[in-house]
Amino acid sequence: MPSVAIDEAMRRAVLLAARGLGTTSPNPVVGCVLLDSAGEPVGEGFHAYAGGPHAEIVALAQAGERARGGTAVVTLEPCDHTGRTGPCSGALIRAGVARVVIAVPDPDPVAAGGADTLRAAGIEVVTGVRAAEAEAGNIAWLTAVRRGRPYLTWKYAATLDGRSAAADGTSMWITSEPARMDVHALRGATDAVIVGVGTVLADNPRLTARNLRDGSLAIHQPLRVVVDSSGRTPADALVRDAAAPSWIATAADVGAGPDGRVDLSRLTTELYRRGVRSALLEGGPELAGGFLRAGLVDRVVGYLAPRLLGAGPAALGDAGVTTLTDAIDLDLADIDRVGTDLRITATVRQREA
């Protein structure tokens, strides 16, 4: 069992790591707290942006000589390679820390190995402290690296009877302003937003992360991805403006599946190659069904408005389910009230191969 000081330091490190959500890709979010030899906090840090100093380096700079003989508490195994910055394992060794406490090992074969390097230098290494919390806070990056594709969240808004629009096609606005603001916060914490060309043609969305009260843009803007098999996105579509980067993904670009449309599995592989580790699917019911059919959705965030329509398009199209036993099962993670709406967050239960 870790000491109270180390357990509390890891709790703090997990909170620090979350400050980097949306700005560190293709790197992970990481938090670090340094304790001196008496167990008192003397430095802390988090990885704020790709290419910037890692969490351990920020914490070591704060601690200075007080790190010698102390303990570094870090949410992810310190890196052991030289990229845009040097290896954190070496920095910890040079600082003279006596112990390093790690929540989660690094699954990236390029960067992993820090724990072994630290042990070889005579430093005590402890692993697994608050591992579940650290894993949850870094789930997008960890899942992406393990699978070679982005962690994909399908976001949708619907009435209580599951309609995404009325029978005449009107859909603005099904949910309340607080719920829509919450969606913009989701966008601001992700690397890419994905829609289909049908959504672009019907709604002409900008797909930026904004403050809905004053219209100002968030500091971080996700890559806007339009799944457009035959290149029908208009030249003057708002998604092509200069507010954020865009990619119109065509079948000629990505590759076509058996139906002649963009191969969604290849699309996610290409997004990973481009540095996308988390993606938010905001497309219509047909595209959502396609991603679910392909087994590419990891999480679902649904905003349910206290309204009934009785007719109109459903929030989800054909997801490849023909009988109840084939239903895509979800594990509920959170239910919360946002404005007048319910926000339900669930993870997709992985089926046994």
Instruction: Tokens for 233, please give them.
Output: 């996105």
Integer-rounded Cα radius of gyration of the chain: 22
How many CB atoms lie under 10 A from the CB of residue 318? 13
User: Which residue in 8, 40, 44, 56 is the catalytic one?
Assistant: 56
Task: Say how far apart CA 116 and CA 107 lie, in whole Å.
Answer: 14
Q: DSSP string spanning 268-280?
A: HHHHHHTT--EEE
Tokens 């709604």 identify what position? Answer: 203
Identify any residues that bridge with 141 across adjacent strands, giving them in sequence order: none
Distance CA 111, CA 114 (A): 8
Pairing of strands 41-46, 31-35: antiparallel
Helix (H) or strand (E) holding 331: strand 330-338
Q: How many CA atoms lie within 13 A of 62 on its CB side?
A: 18
| 56 in catalytic set | yes
The per-residue DSSP string of 90-156 comes to HHHHHHT-SEEEEEE----TTT--HHHHHHHTT-EEEE-TTHHHHHHHTHHHHHHHHHTS-EEEEEE
Helix axes 4-17, 55-63, angle to 10 degrees: 120
Positions annotated as catalytic residues are 56
